[in-house]
């Protein structure tokens, strides 16, 4: 009897352990899987039974009656912005909605058409997916982050003031369709070359200052506006590309900066 009791106790403990719920597996490193699942879902809606619940709940987003996300209160640094929240289509990210939240990666759903003033400013963003549905990127929307590359879709007609200033950009894709690049749009980055599509008609002061650009591909007759009434003249490129372009008849082509001077290929 003395031998049977310890054996019986052992099996009881083993049985109880097998019924104990397992702790959730850490979600820290599988943001890419989540983003892929999101993109493959039918409507981008976060459902209570999915893996997204382990990252943030519906109540981490505040959405108004117009479908604008006005605030994010979650703790996740990798965020997928859904196409719908509680049945309400998400059509815009509001002013300052995700500002200074320590975000690292963001995927924006294909419903969103507008990104507001400082919407994602002052984070540590290293990755951002801007969908083709977006038509407006607000002033300083992505300023003060750690982005190294960005794709700007063709439905965006204007890249607003300081939208991407103070990042780590080495690559920028500006799609054909963008017409205006405003003041300081890409100020203080690490660009060495830029392709400006034929759709661009005006570029304002400081747009590409604070970079080391030595190659510019550009269309014809782009107007450079280097004056701002409150602070005076603002160079568009640090090495005076705009002056060489104007002096050479504003021709389309590839321009190279070497040995302290510009030339056209």
Rounded Cα distance, 129 and 110, in Å: 10
More confident residue, 45 or 145: 145
Same domain, 214 and 115: no
Q: 19 in a domain, yes or no? A: no
Indicate the residue among 122, 141, 160 that finishes a domain. Answer: 141
- For residue range 172-186, list pLDDT tens digits in order: 999 999 999 999 999
Q: 36 in a domain, yes or no? A: yes
Q: What percentage of the chain carries pLDDT values higher than 70?
A: 76
Rounded Cα distance, 99 and 120, in Å: 5
Same domain, 170 and 238: yes
Same domain, 159 and 242: yes
The token duo for 240 is 């005076």
pLDDT interval class at 227 (50, 70, 90): confident
Same domain, 208 and 110: no
pLDDT interval class at 58 (50, 70, 90): low
Task: Give the model's pLDDT for residue 247.
Answer: 94
Cβ distance 136 to 155 under 8 Å? no
Same domain, 248 and 155: yes
- DSSP tag of 122: S
How many domains is the chain partitioned into structurally? 2
Rounded Cα distance, 43 and 136, in Å: 22
141-to-34, 90, 91 alpha-carbon distances in Å? 24, 17, 16
Indicate the residue among 141, 163, 183 that finishes a domain. Answer: 141
Q: Domain holding 93: CATH number?
A: 3.80.10.10
Same domain, 165 and 126: no
246-254 mean pLDDT:
96
pLDDT interval class at 59 (50, 70, 90): low
Q: 20 in a domain, yes or no? A: no
Exposed, middle or buried, 11 (CB in 10 Å: 0-12/13-18/19+)? exposed
Same domain, 217 and 190: yes
Same domain, 111 and 162: no
- CB neighbour burial string for 221-245, b if at least 16 within 10 angstroms, e if fewer: ebebbbeeeeeeebbbbebebbebb
Same domain, 114 and 186: no
Rounded Cα distance, 265 and 248, in Å: 13
Indicate the residue among 125, 141, 157 that finishes a domain. Answer: 141
Q: 172 in a domain, yes or no? A: yes
Same domain, 215 and 127: no
Mean pLDDT, the chain, whole residue set: 82
Q: Give Rg (Cα) of the chain.
A: 25
Task: Give the model's pLDDT for residue 29.
Answer: 36
**Structural domain span for residue 167:** 148-265
Same domain, 125 and 169: no
pLDDT at residue 151 is higher than 90: yes
Q: 122 in a domain, yes or no? A: yes
pLDDT interval class at 50 (50, 70, 90): very low
């Amino acid at each position: 009897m003395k031998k049977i009791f310890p054996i019986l106790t052992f099996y009881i403990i083993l049985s109880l352990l097998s019924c104990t719920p397992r702790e959730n597996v850490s979600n820290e490193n599988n943001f890419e899987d989540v983003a892929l699942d999101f993109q493959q879902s039918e409507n981008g809606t976060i459902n209570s039974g999915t893996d997204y619940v382990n990252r943030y709940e519906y109540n981490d987003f505040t959405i108004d009656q117009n479908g604008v996300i006005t605030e994010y209160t979650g703790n996740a640094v990798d965020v997928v912005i859904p196409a719908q929240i509680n049945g309400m289509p998400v059509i815009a990210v509001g002013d300052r909605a995700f500002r200074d939240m320590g975000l690292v990666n963001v995927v924006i759903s294909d419903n969103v058409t507008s990104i507001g003033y400082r919407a994602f400013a002052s984070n540590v963003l290293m990755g951002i997916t801007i969908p083709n549905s977006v038509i407006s990127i607000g002033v300083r929307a992505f300023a003060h982050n750690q982005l190294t590359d960005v794709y700007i879709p063709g439905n965006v007609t204007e890249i607003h003031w300081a939208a991407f200033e103070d990042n780590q950009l080495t690559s920028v894709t500006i799609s054909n369709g963008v017409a205006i690049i405003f003041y300081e749009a890409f100020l203080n980055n690490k660009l060495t070359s830029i392709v400006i599509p034929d759709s661009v008609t005006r570029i304002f002061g400081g747009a590409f200052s604070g970079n080391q650009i030595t190659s510019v591909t550009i269309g014809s007759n782009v107007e450079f506006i280097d004056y701002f009434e409150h602070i005076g003249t603002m160079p568009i490129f640090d090495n005076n590309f705009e002056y060489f372009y104007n002096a050479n008849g504003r021709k389309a082509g590839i321009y190279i900066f070497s040995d302290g001077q510009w030339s056209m290929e």
